[in-house]
Amino acid sequence: MTTAPPINSVILHTDSPPRVYVFELGGEDDAFAAREAASAAAAVEVVVPGLALAREVEHERVRTLAYTHRASRVLGRTDATIADATALLGDATLDVEGTVAVRARDVRRTTGIDTQLVERRLGGVLTDHGFAVDLDDPDHELRALFADGTCILGWLVTESVRDFGPRKPTKKPFFKPGSMDPLLARALVNIAGARSGNLLVDPMCGTGGILVEAGLVEADVVGFDAQATMAHGAARNLAHYLDGEADPEFATARSDATRLPLRDDAADAVVFDAPYGRQSKIEGDLDGVVAGAFTEVRRIAERAVVVGDRPWTTAAREAGWTVETTFERQVHRSLVRHIAVLD
């Protein structure tokens, strides 16, 4: 983790590495968003609500993130006033060429800043430096991010692809109630390290939502489900969203999650959504099935992310896993999803 500079400090960009980037986080859980962002960058640290600083950013990976909207190369950081932001930009090294535009945000409405006035003042600084302003299609976009007493200026370098709508559970060819939203599924597979050349396994794949998102970030995916109907339905969804993709390979099959037909260390990561109590169609001992699954996935992979309607951390530890971190995400009044990252 990096140590955040003081709020009133100025960090002017130079060409000397490492460069610093600011991530604009989405959702309401900054810790979870930052944990996902760490799959695309190093030293990710939330510095104010909605914003995180990072280094060594993989720009193409940022495009796949669910809970990061944009990454910008930091010019500097100062207090959340128009005068300080203007002075900061006036002193900065402006090492870009071409047309520019300024976009200002009052992140989570924490400062009350007049964003239009910010854009005019900072745009004036840029024109004074000889830049031509193009509000419709600029070569470079300056982000002026005001949040909780801080202003961070940076050149936009990457935006995430916001294409989750067509993959909402009810829009998939095969749908069952309780299916996971693609936004959360994408974050989970990113946290697990899904990427091109890796194999991700879901031993309780259901309708295949986790597998679809892993495939779309170019990981190879294999899913299993105890119900043949679900395994076949997941295959339909995978074929619908991944057929025609050049890189990812995918397959599903019926299988008991406690006895997977895979060799030892076959996978790079495992992600699964454990059955939810009364909604589960597992007959007999649900706790025993999930505990057995923890033991089995430890045999095939060194990393796992598990979701459930209860914490499964005790069962994970008993199976030999180390719990790296946990999160809780409120779905609605009667459902909290518990997420554990294991290694």
Report the alpha-carbon distance of residue 30 to residue 336 in Å, rounded: 17
Burial group, residue 320, by CB count within 10 angstroms (0-12, 13-18, 19+) = exposed
Please report the pLDDT score of residue 10 as a whole number: 41
| Continuous segment of H or E residues that includes residue 31 | helix 30-37
Cis upstream peptide for 261 (omega within 30°): no
Report the alpha-carbon distance of residue 338 to residue 290 in Å, rounded: 14
CA atoms within 13 A on the CB side of 82: 15
The DSSP bridge partners found for residue 152 are 77, 145
pTM: 0.91
Please report the pLDDT score of residue 247 as a whole number: 67
Give pLDDT < 50 ranges for the chain. 1-15
Report the alpha-carbon distance of residue 92 to residue 75 in Å, rounded: 7
CA atoms within 13 A on the CB side of 106: 12
Encode pLDDT of 20-43 as tens digits.
Answer: 999 999 999 999 999 999 999 999
Structure tokens at 334: 């009667």
Ordered domains of the chain (ranges, CATH) = 21-159 (3.30.2130.30), 165-342 (3.40.50.150)
